[in-house]
Amino acid sequence: MSIAIRTVAVVGAGYMGGGIAQCFADAGLHVTIADADAEATRASHERLLREAREFERLDLVNAGYADRVAANLHVADSIEEAVADVDMIEEVVPENPEIKASVHARIEAAARPDAVFGSNTSTIPITDMAAGLAHPERFLGVHFSNPAPFIPGVEIILHPGTDEAVARAAEEAVRATGKLTARLKDKAGFVLNRLQFTLLKEAMTIVEEGVASADDVDTIVRTTFGFRLPFFGPFVIADMAGLDTYRGGFATLEKHYGERLSCLESLAELVDSGHYGVKSGGGFVVPAEGNEALVEYRNTAYARLTRLLSDLGPAPVGRSTGAAVTEAPAEADSGERLG
């Protein structure tokens, strides 16, 4: 069975939800937003139209973006009105299980039973939320990242009962916005925030140990391994560096930090069988042969990123004498900012 998605309701029109609504509206879908009350929804709608015009003025989006958003983005006086007759619902309310459960009950009571129902949860297991629904087979995670108009990746998270046709429909709707999707199995934190939170915790530990300041940790991250991440994920990076090198590194780290930084069996098995990555035998994802094009791409990518960063100049986050602090936008937000 194929499910066509032409109309979308976004429940929660704060910074995150509003950005998601803009993405769907720019793609030509009929989008209705609803927030805590009619006044908040209308204020969010006005803000989103202003933002769309500003994005286009700054040449951050394709020509016609503001007009497309204005033409396709609509408001409802209530959640129930917004979801009553749409093909897909995207819930973007605060990352609190109780709040989500309450909003989900209202959505299910008013929505069509065949509507695709996605949550933009950042960390909460989809299975846990699905347990309270009358139609769990229609439910899945559809996790955009902040700021939604500019971050290209979207996590599609299925619980064991998610209907395959629902998953495909959600993927197609998201891809219509120009995003790249990755389909995941349900596990708390999924991929994005499980990795992101792990990095932050280790970074905080380094600062607490007195190894480096928060500013210096950020400098190292963005100018070394973080510099590679716009182009390559951790598996390709490891394959290019040499899996035997990684195995040796894990041995040192385990000696000093214990089992949490020990070598996993999957890496040890590759090295034991002669798979060292690009330099010999291939690795996790990169074959051993024909990598001249990969090396050329890598070098070109890093050189161009260096030029871009030089053109942009340093990010205006300021410097601190203690823990790094950045300020969120002043306006209130009913949705998540994680990810």
Catalytic residue list: 143
Burial tier of 337 (Cβ tally within 10 Å: 0-12, 13-18, 19+): middle
In angstroms, rounded to a whole number, what is the distance separating the alpha carbons of residues 156 and 280?
Answer: 34
Name the CA dihedral angle for 85, 20, 57, 38, rounded to a multiple of 10 degrees.
60
Indicate the length of the chain as a whole number: 339
CB 22 within 8 A of CB 104: no
The maximal CA–CA distance of the chain, rounded, in angstroms, is 64
